[in-house]
Homo-oligomer: A and B are copies of this chain.
Amino acid sequence: MLINVPETVVADALRGLAAAHPELTVDVERRVVVRRDAPVAGKVALVSGGGSGHEPLHAGFVGPGMLDAACPGEVFTSPVPDQMVRAAAAVDSGAGVLFVVKNYTGDVLNFEMAAELAEDEGVRVAKVLVDDDVAVTDSLYTAGRRGTGATLFVEKLAGAAAEEGAPLERVEAVARRVVERSRSFGVALSACSTPAKGGPTFDLPPGELEFGVGIHGEPGRERRAMMTSGEIAEAAVDAVLDDLRPADPVLLLVNGMGGTPLLELYGFNAEVRRVLAERRVPVARTLVGNYVTSLDMAGASVTLCAADEELLRLWDAPVRTPALRWGR
C-alpha cells in the first residue's frame, strides 16, 4: 500500500486534501472538512460523514451545491459525535443543519447523539437516513438496508435545494424523497485491503464474485461463479427493479468500488443501459466512475433514482466540489 503507517492514513489523507484544495478548510487533528465560505448566510447546511475508505465520499463532496462539511472516521469506522457537533457549529448560519447518515449502526447512533448535543447548543438539526442497498436486510453492521451509492444522490440533490435557499423542512423533504426513490445493488470481484490488516479483508477466490456486496466488503446474498459484464448488469438491474419500479426517468449511477478500471466501468454502463432499455426504464442522466468506493476493491454497483422534474432540475444545478463539479 502507498502509506506511511496504518495509524496515520486518515490524517495523512486530510493533510493531502488540504494541500490540494485551498477552497476547503481542513481540521486535520479534529477531522472536520468544511467549505471555506461556511457558514453561508441564510443557507441550510448539509453535514455528512462516515468511515474513511469510501473516497471521494464524503470529503470529496464538500463545496457549493453539495455538502457544507464532512466528518471522516477511521477506515471503515464511524466518526465520533464530537466531530459532527463541531462540523454543525462551523457551518450553521442559523437556518439549521441536515445530517445525511448512511444506515450503519455506529453512524446512526453517533449522528443521533451529535444531533442532541448540537440542539443543546441551539442548532436546529434534521436527519435523513440513507438505506438504498437491496442486497440484504439486516447484516453485520446494519439493521435494515445498508446505505451505499444513493448517498451521492441525496447529497447532490438536497445540497442543490439548500443552495437555492430552501428552508430546513424542504431540504429534509427533498432528501427523504431521494431516499424513497433510490435503490442500489453491487458486486465484488476482489476483496479490499485495509491498511490495518495489510491485506485482503475477506477471502474471494479468483473466478468467484460476491453478489450483493456492501461497501465494506461485507457479505452479500451469495457467492457466485464469475459472470460476464452483461450477466452482472442483468442481475444487478433486476435486483434493483424488484424493489423499485420507477414511474419517472431515472438518474443512473454506475459506480466503481475503487479497483475497477474506468475502461471496464464504461463497458458495464453499456450493459446496464441495454438491460434498462429492455425493461423499458428511461434514463435521464448517467454518472460513471469511482464515487462510493471500498478502498481497492474490484467491482461495481448500480444505483437508480426515479427523478421527478424537480429532482432533475436539482441534479443539473451547479456543483463545485473536489469530485463532482459542473455548471457555473
* Extra 12 A-B pairs, beta carbons < 8 Å, given A5-B228, A19-B270: A2-B189, A2-B264, A2-B265, A3-B229, A3-B267, A13-B267, A16-B265, A20-B269, A20-B286, A75-B263, A259-B259, A263-B295
Q: Which residue of B lies closest to A260 (CB)?
A: B2
Query: Which residues on B sit within 8 Å (CB–CB) of A228?
Result: 3-5
A contacts, CB < 8 Å to B: 1-5, 8-10, 12-17, 19-21, 52-53, 55-56, 60, 75, 189, 228-230, 232, 254, 258-271, 273, 283, 286-288, 290, 293, 295-296, 298-300, 320, 325-326, 328
Bound-state Cα–Cα, A255 to B53, Å? 18
| Top 9 closest pairs, chain A to chain B, by CB | A12-B267, A16-B269, A16-B266, A16-B270, A15-B270, A55-B262, A13-B266, A20-B286, A2-B264
The listed residue (B2, B263, B273, B295) touching A19 by CB distance below 8 A is B273
User: Contact between B261 and A20 (Cβ–Cβ < 8 Å)?
Assistant: no
Which B residue's beta carbon lies closest to that of A256? B2
How far, in whole Å, are A293 and B290 apart by their CA atoms in the complex? 14
| B3, B55, B267: the one within 8 Å of A9 (CB) | B267
Whether B325 contacts A9 by the Cβ 8 Å rule is: no
CB–CB A2/B326 < 8 A? no
Residue of B nearest to A266 (CB): B16
Given A20-B286, A270-B12; A52-B263 close (CB under 8 Å) = yes
Given A296-B298, A326-B325, the answer on whether A263 and B13 have CB atoms closer than 8 Å is yes
Q: Give the Cβ gap from A322 to chain B, nearest Cβ, in Å.
A: 8
**List of B residues within 8 angstroms of A263 by Cβ:** 9-10, 13, 52-53, 55, 75, 295
Shortest distance from the beta carbon of A49 to any chain B beta carbon, whole Å: 15
Q: Are B266 and A2 in contact (CB under 8 A)?
A: no
